[in-house]
Amino acid sequence: MSNQTAFRALADPTRRDILTALSDGEMTVKQLTERFPMTRAAVKKHLVILEVGGLLTSRKQGRETLNKLNPEGLKPVTDWLAYFDQFWDTHLTNLQSVFDKKD
């Protein structure tokens, strides 16, 4: 999944909360809706965006749809962020950082 779809999926606080909720395990659309102050249709929209972003997978079981966290989908995000670790003072001293960049 592209960098952009994942970042976009994480931009909304409700969607981040959905991911946190799913860290407890698979949940149906109904179960998720009970945890959020909005309609099922709204939750469903968020789920689609999260799935497109590669952050969750879904499978049908009878009339229910189970949504499962896909932690690997966070990789494009953590990868992008990792580049900036070199500029982070708490990771490297200023001197070390300057040294790395000059070489």
* Closest separation in Å from C-beta 37 to a second copy: 17
Q: Which window, 28-36, 37-45, 57-65, 74-82, contacts a second copy (CB under 8 A)?
A: 74-82
User: How many angstroms separate the Cα of 10 from the Cα of each of 4, 46, 64, 96?
Assistant: 10, 10, 25, 32
Taking CB under 8 A as the criterion, the residue among 19, 43, 49, 56 binding a second copy is 19
Q: Residue 40 binds which one of DNA, a second copy, none, with CB within 5 to 8 A depending on kind?
A: DNA
Query: Rounded CA gap, 99 and 81, in Å?
Result: 21
